[in-house]
Amino acid sequence: MINIVRRDPFDELLRGFFVQPVGLQQNTDKRDLPVEIRESTEAFELSAELTGVRKEDIEVQIDGKVLSISAERKASPLREGERLLRSEFGYGKLSRSFQLSQEIDEAQAQARYNDGVLTLLLPKKAVAQARRLTVQ
């Protein structure tokens, strides 16, 4: 069976103009910083895989409903007389931001880092109840 695919040469030409150079691309590959987010009635729980990252190189920011995680995976320095033959590890800065459905209580939030997994427990802020004022 023969499959016929119709191609537009102008589409392929224009696509090349909008591709960013490799050195300027931001981290958009979710495989570099995979996460799992769970929600209960009182909190969010986020687990992020950050293997090869030191605890000191992780930063978590909470701004209302927005949660941002950034980290830097650094290569270990070579010792004297040693040379690197091959490296398939990924190094550099990683970052992800998430818009959650409810604001986070920053004062009660907790972070743990164990065996390359960052776990965040993010309690939800209490929703302000609407109040009716009596006109006097």
What ranges do the domains of the chain cover?
Answer: 27-75+89-105
Top pLDDT among 3 and 129 is at 129
User: Comparing C-alpha atoms, which of 102, 77, 97, 95 is closest to residue 87?
Assistant: 77
Give the CATH number of domain 27-75+89-105; options: 2.60.40.790, 2.60.120.10, 3.40.190.10, 3.40.50.970: 2.60.40.790
Q: Which of 21-30, 39-48, 104-113 has the lowest mean pLDDT?
A: 21-30
Strand pairing class (58-63; 117-123): unpaired
The pLDDT of residue 31: 62
Q: Which helix (H) or strand (E) holds 100?
A: none
Instruction: Please determine, for residue 57, whether its predicted confidence score (pLDDT) is greater than 80.
Output: yes
What is the pLDDT, as a whole number, of residue 6?
A: 59
Residue 75 has pLDDT above 60, yes or no: yes
pLDDT number for residue 89: 82
Phi, psi of 42 (to 5 degrees): -110, -10
